[in-house]
Amino acid sequence: LCGWQGIMERFCVSPKGMNVLISGNIPPSAGLSSSSALVCAGALATLAFHTGKSFDEIDKVDFAELCAKVERYIGMEGGGMDQAVEVLAEEGSALRIDFGPLTFSRVALPENALFAVVHSGETLNKAATSQYNERVVECRLAAQVMAKACEIEDWKEIRTLKQLAERLQKSASEMLSVVDEILQSPVYTKDSALSLLGITDDEFSKIVLSANTQHMEVFKLYQRAGHVYAEADRVRRFHEACKTGDVKEMGRLMNDSHTSCRDLYECSCDKLDEVVEKCLRSGALGARLTGAGWGGCAVALFDKEQDLEVLFWSRPAAGIRLIEC
């Protein structure tokens, strides 16, 4: 319905009735972007049904951004990575996706790299809970506190940690020093945040919090900001490791990523941690949770030269498209 609504709003078309059959075998709440896939599929099907056209009517990047925007109608302040890869993927390669603006580049994975997807058995309906949005709020507050400390006059307009890095003209790795310098408290209370920003409780609710995070009273700004900037730098280094075919470095970065997700961003869970440990004991070079976290799947990296029992192989596929029957 989010995808349908997005097309209705974008193209101002009169709604027509549709008979829709949906089929799939991806487990729900598995961190594999099944919900975003439904939004993108719903949007493309609605576009084709109402206009008779698809990507000759709208640019793929524009379409991906539209799908990311309308999926937020369910109440989650999600990013746009899932929708971007579902729309822009090219057969045989991975994608590196960057935002502000949305850009993408093909990434050739090393021939000896095998990624295994393992379900933890734990699920969490992120749209029905507030954990995901709480992390978004903490990152937003961290960015605004640092922006105010750096004497950025329009700090209220800073909404993301990336925006702050761009305003300060610093790389992700350089921003870690800014985090260490400014966010020195392990936990910030709402009162301390109000004092640092010099705003009222009502302003805080409007500027920082979202609809389902109004209850928040404590914020781990150092941990969340540290994770985000370190993770952004790991993405850059993982890309470089792919270029050189260094699967051991790729595995090490995946391990560091999961440790950070578990300890700093706190979006893992016991069963996910257990799956990651089992993968490593079974010879994986690295493993980490995938998706929003708090359940779902882990992705583990193996060297194809290892003696492995593989249930089935799947190579990177192309993105969403219409198939005429």
pTM (predicted TM-score): 0.92
Distance separating alpha carbons of residues 273 and 243, to the nearest angstrom: 29
Distance separating alpha carbons of residues 67 and 92, to the nearest angstrom: 24
Give residue 274's Cα distance to chain centre.
22
82 noted as active-site residue: yes
Q: Is 214 exposed, middle or buried (0-12, 13-18, 19+ CB in 10 A)?
A: exposed
Residue pLDDT, tens place only, 215-272: 999 999 999 999 999 999 999 999 999 999 999 999 999 999 999 999 999 999 999 9
CATH of domain 130-225: 1.20.1440.340
**What's the Cα-to-Cα distance from 85 to each of 89, 227, 293, rounded to whole Å?**
5, 23, 18
List the Cα angle 232/207/80 in 5-degree steps.
Answer: 35
Residue pLDDT, tens place only, 16-66: 999 989 888 888 888 898 889 999 999 999 999 999 989 988 999 999 999
CATH topology classification for 2-107: Ribosomal Protein S5; domain 2 (3.30.230)
Residue pLDDT, tens place only, 16-30: 999 989 888 888 888
DSSP, collapsed to helix, strand or coil, labels residue 274 as helix
Torsion sign across C-alpha atoms 291, 292, 298, 300: positive
Among candidate residues 82, 180, 246, 256, the one labeled active-site is: 82
Domain ranges (residues) in the chain: 2-107, 113-127+246-303, 130-225
CATH of domain 113-127+246-303: 3.30.70.890
DSSP, collapsed to helix, strand or coil, labels residue 71 as helix
